């Protein structure tokens, strides 16, 4: 059975997408309001650095991640690779060498990593801008948080 930190780490990394809502833009024209849909942005040290870029259909790469979880920081490595025509992700926590395999889906600027578990699935949403990634992770409906990282070059 995985330790709670490994589970939180997976959630955070899988975590992965940090989304912030853009300000609503609108103008009052004959009592009609125009709203702008939320835009995906990438964070660095918790601050927006610009709009997210679309992921490629096969977003292979290696990333170093930092996942804040209730008073501690989880350091992890995320590898996204194509094996036998299928893209999958492996997350390895610095203090827990057991890799965690995750499913990968791409939806424009949103990279979704999922670990399906009976208790509570772990989902990470990641966005990227250049070599930087950020996002949000959730463990079922119980817990959530943010993740930031950088591609290994």
The C-alpha atoms of residue 41 and residue 53 are separated, in whole angstroms, by 9
* Cα–Cα dist 125/16, whole Å: 4
pTM flag (> 0.85): no
Domain 4-20+38-151 falls under CATH 2.40.128.120: yes
pLDDT band, very low/low/confident/very high, at 141 (cuts 50, 70, 90): confident
In this prediction, residue 142 carries a pLDDT of: 84
Strand spans (E) along 3-95: 41-44, 47-51, 61-69, 72-83, 86-93
Q: Which of 6-15, 62-71, 104-113, 117-126 has the lowest mean pLDDT?
A: 6-15
């Amino acid at each position: 059975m995985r330790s709670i930190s490994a589970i939180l780490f997976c959630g955070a990394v899988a975590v992965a997408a940090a989304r912030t809502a853009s300000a609503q833009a609108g103008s009052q024209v004959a009592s009609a309001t125009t709203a702008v849909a939320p835009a995906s942005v990438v964070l660095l040290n918790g601050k927006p650095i610009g709009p997210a870029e679309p992921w490629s259909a096969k977003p292979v790469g290696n990333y170093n991640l930092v996942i804040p979880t209730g008073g501690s920081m989880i350091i992890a490595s995320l590898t996204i690779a194509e094996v036998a025509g299928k893209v999958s992700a492996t997350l390895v926590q610095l203090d827990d060498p057991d890799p965690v395999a995750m499913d990968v889906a791409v939806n424009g600027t949103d990279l979704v990593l999922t670990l399906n578990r009976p208790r509570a699935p772990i989902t990470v949403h990641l966005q990227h801008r250049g070599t930087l990634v950020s996002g949000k992770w959730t463990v079922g409906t119980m817990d959530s948080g943010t993740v930031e990282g950088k591609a290994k070059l």
